[in-house]
Amino acid sequence: MELNELKKVWGEVSREKHQNHVVNADEIRQLLQHRGSGILSKLERNVRTGFWLLGIFLLITIADQYLPYDQLFTSYIQDKIPTPLIIKITGIIVNCIMMLTFILFVYRYNKLNIKILAAYNMRMALQRILMLLDTFKREFYLALIVFSCATCAGFVMGVWQGIKIMPVSGTLSELKLIGGEIFIVLVMTAIIALIFYIFHKGFNALYGKYRQQLIRTLNELDETEE
Amino acid sequence: MKEEFLRNITANQGIIHKVTKIYCENADDRKDLFQEILIQLWKSYSTFREQSKFSTWMYRVAINTAITAYKKVNRKTANMLFVKEIPSIADDEYDFEHEENLNLLHTAIGQLTGIEKSIILLYLEDKAYEEIAEINGITQNYVRVKMNRIKKKLESFIKGKV
């Protein structure tokens, strides 16, 4: 069978099958009301959700650092836990980085105009979708790292200060305290590594295969154009 | 604007059907892709300028959506793409040769990559290289080079099968 014959067969198939699938305006209207299940629709939904979650997460993290807990819970907290200056400065720097990253994310999100990605020519569409996926991935991992570090640091500091302020018994030596603290850090590291692994696998299952496929398609375009 | 969109889409829906047929392996996937293309068309409708034909713009959105959602068809299911209901042996009017050609067409197209599928679809639709290049946002030279590769790929596949 030659290519011209293929064309003839295709013509017959298009006519036959098309007649079975005529969709009217009302059906199209109904279809438009449903949520799309393709990667472009998913991306749009996920990035929008990510946008709100990151915003809320950022607000909670900043509020947590500056809320006067010792004044709010006077019956539980008798002594104000002193925070070293270096921790305060680090906190401000981390907050600034998080704010800047979030603003950058919003800026990139608007610039990419995700809603009309499909209308670009193929190379540009692929480049923009990949850029969006990479930005989304970076933001996701950054949020995960910041959250993990903050949780870990807060927990370790809390335990350390707690033991120092209210020692359980006088028999605990400094060495045992340090040993206990190291054990806690190791356990926390293992938990965080597990959380990371689960999220990493989940992210790859959702987007990894699409990303690879899009990269292959883009490489295929570049290869022949060169 | 929505009414105008609905009118245009209803009149040109054949384009979406053809794209879903080239990229999807079964009826459920075709239905999902049909809806996804519709949604992307509606979202992008504001970008349609009358500088290009409506059908050219529609092909571009439909193909980009299909490529991003495209799953590699495995060879076993590729053969099922256009297979009709199993014919009765007693059915004298049943055209076995036509059926065989359909299967061959689809198995052959199933071997192609996402971009190759978009180019062969537009070629089968009798589009000029200029329009194929415009829809895909590539040069005409690229279309020619790619078309030669696709022809060789299809011919060697068909020769191997016949």
Taking an 8 Å cut-off on Cβ atoms, the answer to whether B137 and A121 are in contact is: yes
Residue A147, in any domain of the structure: yes
Domain count, chain A: 1
The closest CB to that of A119, out of B47, B113, B115, belongs to B47
Is residue A213 predicted with pLDDT exceeding 50?
Answer: yes
Nearest CA in chain B to A41: B36
Cα separation, B2 vs B122, in Å, equals 28
pLDDT, tens only, A145-165? 777 777 777 777 777 776 666
Residue A10, in any domain of the structure: no
Lowest-pLDDT range of A16-30, A104-118, A196-210, B71-85: B71-85
Residue A153, in any domain of the structure: yes
pLDDT confidence of residue A206: 79
The chain-wide mean pLDDT, for chain B, equals: 79
More confident call, A124 vs B93: A124
Residue where the block lists tokens 């990151």: A54
Contact status, residue B110 vs residue B81, Cβ threshold 8 Å: yes
A34 neighbourhood in chain B, CB within 8 Å? 35
Residue A97, in any domain of the structure: yes
pLDDT confidence of residue A140: 77
Contact status, residue A182 vs residue A189, Cβ threshold 8 Å: no
- Mean pLDDT calculated for residue range B81-103: 54
The closest CB to that of B124, out of A6, A23, A115, belongs to A6
pLDDT, tens only, A34-66? 887 788 888 888 878 877 877 887 788 777 777
Cα separation, B159 vs A48, in Å, equals 50
Residue A28, in any domain of the structure: no
State which amino acid sits at residue B145: V
pLDDT confidence of residue B70: 61
Question: Containing domain of residue A56, as a range?
Answer: 38-220
pLDDT-based confidence at B78, cuts 50/70/90?
Answer: very low
Question: Rounded to 5, what percent of chain A is helix, strand, coil?
Answer: 85, 0, 15
B57, two tokens: 């713009």
Top mean pLDDT of A128-142, A163-177, B30-44, B73-87 is at: B30-44
Task: Specify the DSSP element, H or E, that contains A121.
Answer: none
Lowest-pLDDT range of A10-14, A48-52, A167-171, B156-160: A167-171
Residue where the block lists tokens 């011209």: A4
Number of C-beta neighbours around residue B69 at 10 A: 25
Closest among A64, A179, A45, A170 to A115, alpha carbons compared: A45
B72: left (phi over 0), alpha (psi -120 to 50) or beta: beta
Nearest CA in chain B to A1: B158
pLDDT-based confidence at A96, cuts 50/70/90?
Answer: confident
Lowest-pLDDT range of A60-74, A112-126, B11-25: A60-74
Q: Where are the domains of chain B?
A: 2-161
pLDDT-based confidence at A224, cuts 50/70/90?
Answer: low
